[in-house]
Amino acid sequence: MFAVGIVLSIVGLGFFCRLLFMLAIYALPTFAGLSAGLAAFHNEAGVTGTVTVGLLVGGATLTLGQFAFAGTRTPLIRAIFGTLYGVPAAIAGYQVSFALAGIGMPGNAWQTAFAVVGAVVSGCTAFSRLALLAAPPDGRGAGSAYSSAEARLHNQGR
């Protein structure tokens, strides 16, 4: 029975780590939605208005950020958008990694070390998930409508 508990603990920790990395990009939209929802609640919007405002602001933050990242070609602006989405994910990753490390490690130094690694990986994951929507800068790949040869043939037919 003891071995089953150990195996289930490892599987559970692995599940939470995978969930953290899958949901890393949603840290900024969640924060924005919660902040807007709490502001609406404090301005007496009611529960329905609070939930509606929070969902709309969170969804708009995610959608506008992804389109802005995909629409720009300047690496500096892409880095700024990636940082805007990566920093809240890194903070959330630090907190979750510190809590999960506290389950199995008694030393505070090791907990902090694992939390820093979790923060870096979580921030990088959020940046890479945001970059999935963007087309490559040379116009080739999954984000472009035509390859360069197909575009030339299409333009010659006009």
Would you write out the chain's pLDDT as a tens digit for each of its 158 residues? 777 777 777 787 778 777 777 777 788 888 999 999 999 999 988 899 999 999 999 999 988 888 888 888 788 888 888 888 888 889 988 988 888 888 777 778 888 888 898 889 888 888 888 777 665 555 555 545 545 555 555 556 55
Given this model, what pLDDT does residue 41 score?
93
> Using CA atoms, how far apart are residues 11 and 42, in angstroms rounded to an integer?
41
The values of phi and psi at residue 147, to 5°, are -80, 170
In this structure, are residues 65 and 84 in contact, taking their beta carbons and an 8 Å threshold? yes
In this structure, are residues 33 and 54 in contact, taking their beta carbons and an 8 Å threshold? yes
Place of tokens 């508990």: 5
Q: Taking Cα atoms as reference points, which of 49, 52, 66, 55 lies closest to residue 32?
A: 55
Give the Cα-Cα-Cα angle 133, 137, 140 (nearest 5 degrees): 80
Given this model, what pLDDT does residue 149 score?
53
Which two structure tokens, joined as six digits, stand for 91? 């903070």
Whether residue 28 is contained in a domain is answered as yes
Q: Residue 20 burial by CB count (10 A; 0-12/13-18/19+): exposed, middle or buried? A: buried
Whether residue 99 is contained in a domain is answered as yes
Whether residue 84 is contained in a domain is answered as yes
Given this model, what pLDDT does residue 157 score?
54
Q: Which domain holds residue 79?
A: 23-133
Whether residue 148 is contained in a domain is answered as no
- Tell how far CA 92 is from the center of its chain: 10
Whether residue 62 is contained in a domain is answered as yes
Given this model, what pLDDT does residue 38 score?
93
Q: Is the pTM of this model over 0.75?
A: no
Whether residue 29 is contained in a domain is answered as yes
Given this model, what pLDDT does residue 133 score?
60
Whether residue 16 is contained in a domain is answered as no
Whether residue 4 is contained in a domain is answered as no
Q: How many domains does the chain have?
A: 1
Give the Cα-Cα-Cα angle 83, 50, 55 (nearest 5 degrees): 45
